[in-house]
Amino acid sequence: MFDSDLDTRAARLNDRYRHHAAIEVLRRAVTDPDLGRVALVSSFGAESVVLLHMVSRVAPGLPVLFIDTQMLFPETLAYQREVSAKLGLTDVQVIMASASEIAAHDPDGTLHRVNADACCDIRKTMPLERALSGYDAWITGRKRFQNGHRAALEFFEPEPPARLRVNPLAHWRPEDVQDYMIENRLPRHPLVAQGYPSIGCAPCTSPVAPGEDPRSGRWRGLEKSECGIHFIGGRMVRGKVSA
């Protein structure tokens, strides 16, 4: 049992590691008793390889949870296999909605057209919640620069009712990400070169024109900027699934 509530633990951890570099935040997060059992959640998207590479250096056996929504680009699935093998990650777990859940809620694969939130809930949020039920904290690749909702992101934040979230790259700039990839000769997601700086499911991701926000190609035209596994203002964004 932990000795304090989530907000107190997050504040204590942020104070403890406030001046640490990203890789040291990660290294210490996987062993700090204030975190408990930890997993990395990775989309194997445009910038995911940075954090995956750091994990390969400090804890290659750390559980890595990859959500296969069954609507991903083929390039993402191939990239996931390539990066996992190249970096020597030994516990990559592919998680997804069950066949019965898909059959009950999205049998023809068109739910995203009428209710994108419900589609994300079935295909991402619910499977991830099940997978994370055995963990006390999880690591994300979110960064302050990605959109306005993340502008105040800290290394550690509470996820009520019982988990913490770790964001080692919270303070990185876009150029920091690119420099790290170049310096470590990391493989790029093949869709980045085709104009996809942020990559999600194929039906809901479009290329981004020069000068547009990098995440503008996600759910273009919808009042939506998060898939539901991330939250705004300290609370999880999770819509109920429509029958």
Tell me which residues are annotated as active site. Answer: 227
> Using CA atoms in the order 201, 202, 203, 206, what is the torsion angle rounded to 10 degrees?
100
| Beta strands at 64-67 and 92-95: parallel, antiparallel or unpaired | parallel
Q: How far is CA 180 from CA 40, 88, 172, 185, 218, in A?
A: 19, 18, 11, 8, 24
3-class secondary-structure state, position 2? coil
Nearest to residue 123, comparing CAs of 101, 94, 104? 101
Which one-letter DSSP state was computed for residue 115? -
Are 239 and 233 in contact, with CB atoms under 8 Å apart? Answer: no
- Supply the DSSP symbol for 234: T
Strand partners, 139: 40, 166
Q: Contact 47/186 with Cβ under 8 angstroms? A: no
DSSP string, 139-181: E----GGG-GGGTT--SEEEETTTEEEE-TTTT--HHHHHHHH
